[in-house]
Amino acid sequence: MNSVLTVSIAGTAPLVIAVAALVRRLGSETSTLPVTAEWIDELSADRYRPMIRLLDGRDIQFLRAQPGFTRAMESDLRPRRCQIMRDYLRCLDLDFNRVATALGLLMVQSEQERPQATAALMEYRLRYEAASAVVRARLFLYRWGIGTVDAAPLVRVFDAIRVELRQVMPSAVPACA
């Protein structure tokens, strides 16, 4: 059964490395992007769906059930997964701030006042910051073997503000961000 554990770990290592490389590449994009329908569509919440399951605990439970899996192996695995989650969070923060900035710019450039849109933007920012604080606190605890991390609320707020930007954006917008 020790070979099952070895195969499981060997099989997940390339996946972890690939995800880490992808997250780093996504985070290295420039901080200014044109505000177009294509740009907004590229910012799909789907790119952040893996972070919802990354630290939910099922993989660790599976590995614990495998003969030969030790606490030392788990102790090595947790920081790696936490680093991947931090990379995802960094990218998500950048994308959220880009979308919020673009939404704010569109509201400022709009010929009509939209007090409810301004209030909605403030609400999105507050909801995002609150969800981000919870995820980061739980991430700290997860690193030490306590609990799980649910990033779904954070991804939902990002998706909601992205949809809001898509709805507020006129069909033909010049690059403004």
Tens digits of pLDDT across the chain (177 residues): 566 555 555 555 544 454 444 445 444 444 444 566 677 767 788 889 888 888 877 888 888 899 999 888 888 888 999 999 999 999 999 999 999 998 888 877 777 766 777 888 899 999 999 999 999 999 999 988 888 899 999 999 999 998 888 887 764 344 444
> Quick check: pTM over 0.85?
no
The pLDDT of residue 88: 95
The pLDDT of residue 167: 81
Spell out the long-range contacts of 96-102 with Cβ–Cβ below 8 A and sequence spacing 24 or more.
Answer: 96/128, 96/157, 96/158, 96/161, 98/31, 98/33, 98/43, 98/177, 99/40, 99/43, 99/158, 99/161, 99/162, 99/165, 100/124, 100/125, 100/161, 101/177, 102/35, 102/165, 102/169, 102/176, 102/177
